[in-house]
Amino acid sequence: MLDGVPAVDQINAPKTYALAPTPRPFRLPERADRMTHVARRIDGLEEKDAMESITQDDGKPTVLIVDDDPDIRESLQRLLRTVSLDSRTYVSPSTFIKSDLPSGPTCMVLDVRLPGRSGLDFQKELTAANINVPIIFITGHADVPMAVQAMKAGAIEFLIKPFRDQNLLDAIQLGLANDRARCERESELTRLRERFGKLTSREREVLAHVVNGRLNKQIANDIGISEMTVKIHRGQVVRKMQAASVSQLTRMADRLRDANIFGSPKATDLF
């Protein structure tokens, strides 16, 4: 045996030798390699890879990629995997409209030039449909008026290809942060709506007076009940609305008013 190599007469011997494993090339995680490919005809176009998803919808941030170029979609997904961000891809606005949005914070990377309609037109449609998702435009063909139009309509960023990966990632993080804050505001408003729904009509009437700065005695005279009854209703309002103070109760009422849930600009008319 020379330098660890078995002699020729040992090759066919029953004894076996442990060989060092051959280095394997680096591979992306299997989950990322197993993309879902859907073929369908939409808007008269044969669309392959209509939606590719590498996300589990568990409330985590998700980046929505709308681009008709499969190479661009795959490239963006690879980039997002490097920062542990889930993504969903769509070949056209039509495939996006027909799908369900993730439950967690999202932002959209949207190509300006798409089959059937432009990304700018799609931005308008999303706004009209009250689909509030931060948008980052990417394009290989752009001019200043196009960029100005997109930004005025609320886009987070307008990037011209080729762009630096970090610029896109920074814009995505900003979009996700904005949408996370929006989700929190909507969740808070939903909770307030549910609490308000538990109030009786009398409790709502008392609440309107309380947030308008009226004292118990004044409220009693205003609505024709005893001061003790006002105190009871007021206690119920505080308990059901889960308010720690009158100032917090007032802020809750302001949130309900600002959301136009009751369609009145005045606190006295809120309820």
Q: What is the pLDDT of residue 44?
A: 36
* 189-239: pLDDT as tens digits: 999 999 999 999 999 999 999 999 999 999 999 999 999 999 999 999 999
How far apart CA 223 and CA 205 sit, in angstroms, is 9
The three-class DSSP label of residue 57 is: coil
Task: With cut-offs at 50, 70 and 90, classify the pLDDT of residue 259.
Answer: confident
pTM of the full predicted structure?
0.68
As a whole-number percent, the residues of the chain with pLDDT over 90 amount to 64
Question: Can you point out the beta strands (E) in 60-205?
Answer: 62-66, 86-90, 106-111, 135-139, 157-160
List residues bridging with 108 in a β-sheet: 64, 135
End-to-end CA, the chain: 95
Predicted confidence (pLDDT) at residue 255 exceeds the cutoff of 70 = yes
How far apart CA 139 and CA 1 sit, in angstroms, is 64
* CB-count exposure of residue 82 (10 Å: 0-12, 13-18, 19+): exposed
Token pair for residue 263? 């369609």
Report all structural domains of the chain as residue ranges with CATH numbers, in order of start.
27-187 (3.40.50.2300), 198-269 (1.10.10.10)
Q: What is the mean pLDDT of the chain?
A: 80
Predicted confidence (pLDDT) at residue 4 exceeds the cutoff of 60 = no
* 85-115: pLDDT as tens digits: 999 999 999 999 999 989 899 999 999 988 8
Crossing angle of helices 144-152 and 119-128, in 10° steps, is 10
* 140-194: pLDDT as tens digits: 887 788 899 999 999 999 999 889 999 999 999 999 999 999 999 999 999 999 9
Task: With cut-offs at 50, 70 and 90, classify the pLDDT of residue 57.
Answer: low
